[in-house]
Amino acid sequence: MDPRAAAARAPDLAGSLRSLRRGASGAFLVTVAGTGLGFLSNMVIARLTGRAEYGIYALMISWVSLLAVVAQAGQDISIVRFMPSYINGGFWGEVRGLRRGVGLLVFATSVCVAAIGCMIVHELGARHDAAWRDTFYIGFATLPILTQLQQSGALHRAFKRPVVTNLYSTVLRPLAVIPLMLLLARVVVHPDAPMASAASALAVLLALAASALHMSCAWPAHARNITPRYELRRWAVIGSQLSLLSIIVAGGNWLSVLILGALMGTGEVGPYYAALRMATFALFAQQSVNVVLAPMIAERHDAGDMAGLQIVAARAARFGFAGALAVGVFFAVAGKWILGLFGHEFDIAYVPLLILLSGYCASTAFGEVGFMLSMTKFQKQASLFVLVGIVVNLVAALLLVPRLGAAGAAIGAALSLVVWRGVAWRYVTTRLGIDPSVFGKVATTSGVP
């Protein structure tokens, strides 16, 4: 164990559980609001642009979201992995160095990825119309701004500010998109995909400015003038491993959309993407818990408190599963009607929606196995497990999409998630001796609520 990490003293278990409840509750409200606003913003874009243009926009968003993870090079997770131990140990030079060093690295990487993306669009442009080309140009130009917004959110998470972590990216960003799109609709009768992309880019810029200002104002006064110290080799090694995991996870998340677009065209992407956005509501309880849970896992593992880690992880899993189940039941009843709000023929994605919801509910029952591995120095194994899931997704999608369309893409996505998380759960229980699932032990020690 790293001596500095070993020296870091984890908070008492009771305090961690209280922080988990308070932080998860606040993050839950932010996640619900953000997911709802994101859903509403996509509905507004779909209704104003139409099924075909929305399909182009959705495909661009899927590619940019995946490439943003590539450009991050795992450094957003590195911040969450290293910074809590640095802060607890009083290593503020490393804290400043980590913030500055990885920020510059990610910015440079994202500029390079964006430039390569624009060159590819230029080469492929002859096969597509102007709307497709312009949409992707704008999307790739947004990439460096988006990665810095993600970096800012990771810093807030490392400082255990669960409410603020996703406030700007998931709440302020769609909150800005909606009025921008409505304004465009008044200026031009029928906004198209490039206009929607431009509105999204401006919203990302506004969210980054607000998040960065908040971080600067909240930065501890005693740490403002400390000389930054860099552990570049350590960050680079762990970051490269975490990068592989992040890329594989993101690839699994967006693979179904990309395959559907490649095999069936952008017209099929729009309804499926709407269903995918709806299905992600099932994950907001787990995501809100993870904002608090990720640094707690690192702290307790570094301090050797495996009993406390078991309790925290199992309680988090039950909260996440309960949220997923509630959302699944609601959309099973009202999903078809809600899909119809996106526009004509969007309700054809009702069956894919049910398939995705079933997969998400089953996967949350395993608990947060991804962070249990990546925050405890088993990121290589986590990457392997997610890669297995991607292979399952790829094979299933290639076999089923030509026959079943969006339903085939949904089956591949759901099956992939259940397979890799199930395998990862088995590894966590045998290697760490912890059951992070809904069936894990939650009995507490004396004096712990």
pLDDT in tens, 132-182: 999 999 999 999 999 999 988 888 877 877 677 778 888 899 999 999 999
pLDDT on residue 433: 83
- Dist CA 212 CA 210 (whole Å): 6
Closest CA to 38 of 231, 178, 138: 178
Q: Assess if residue 158 is contained within a domain.
A: yes
* pLDDT-wise least confident of 29-43, 51-65, 350-364, 398-412: 29-43
- Dist CA 238 CA 380 (whole Å): 10
Mean pLDDT of the 96-116 span: 89
- Dist CA 89 CA 383 (whole Å): 29
Confidence bin at 27 (pLDDT 50/70/90): low
Confidence bin at 2 (pLDDT 50/70/90): very low
Total count of residues recorded for the chain: 449
pLDDT on residue 5: 43
Q: Assess if residue 330 is contained within a domain.
A: yes
Q: What percent of the chain has pLDDT over 70?
A: 86
Q: Assess if residue 45 is contained within a domain.
A: yes
Q: How many domains does the chain contain in total?
A: 1
Q: Assess if residue 437 is contained within a domain.
A: no
Per-range mean pLDDT, top range of 40-54, 76-90, 194-208: 194-208
Mean pLDDT of the 393-420 span: 92
Confidence bin at 3 (pLDDT 50/70/90): very low
pTM of the predicted model as reported, rounded to 2 decimal places: 0.74
**pLDDT, mean over the chain:** 83
Confidence bin at 81 (pLDDT 50/70/90): confident
Confidence bin at 100 (pLDDT 50/70/90): confident
pLDDT reading at 15 higher than 70: no
Q: Report which of residues 420 and 230 the model is more confident about.
A: 420
Q: Assess if residue 446 is contained within a domain.
A: no
Can you give the residue range of the structural domain that contains 247?
3-431
CA distances from 238 to 20, 72, 79, 152, 379 (A): 26, 13, 11, 20, 9
Q: Assess if residue 179 is contained within a domain.
A: yes
Confidence bin at 258 (pLDDT 50/70/90): confident
pLDDT on residue 447: 43
Mean pLDDT of the 193-219 span: 92
Q: What percent of the chain has pLDDT over 90?
A: 34
Q: Assess if residue 282 is contained within a domain.
A: yes
pLDDT reading at 10 higher than 80: no
pLDDT reading at 267 higher than 50: yes
pLDDT reading at 72 higher than 80: yes
- Amino acid, single-letter form, for residue 18: R
Mean pLDDT of the 261-265 span: 82
pLDDT on residue 446: 38
Confidence bin at 24 (pLDDT 50/70/90): low
SS3 for the chain, per residue?
CCHHHHHCCCCCHHHHHHHHHHHHHHHHHHHHHHHHHHHHHHHHHHHHHCHHHHHHHHHHHHHHHHHHHHHHCCHHHHHHHHHHHHHHHCCHHHHHHHHHHHHHHHHHHHHHHHHHHHHHHHHHHHHCCHHHHHHHHHHHHHHHHHHHHHHHHHHHHHCCCHHHHCHHHHHHHHHHHHHHHHHHHHHCCCCCHHHHHHHHHHHHHHHHHHHHHHHHHHCCHHHCCCCCCCCHHHHHHHHHHHHHHHHHHHHHHHHHHHHHHHHHCHHHHHHHHHHHHHHHHHHHHHHHHHHHHHHHHHHHHHCCCHHHHHHHHHHHHHHHHHHHHHHHHHHHHHHHHHHHCCCCCHHHHHHHHHHHHHHHHHHHCCCCHHHHHHCCCCHHHHHHHHHHHHHHHHHHHHHHHHHHCHHHHHHHHHHHHHHHHHHHHHHHHHHCCCCCCCCCCCCCCCCCC
74: its two tokens = 């795992």
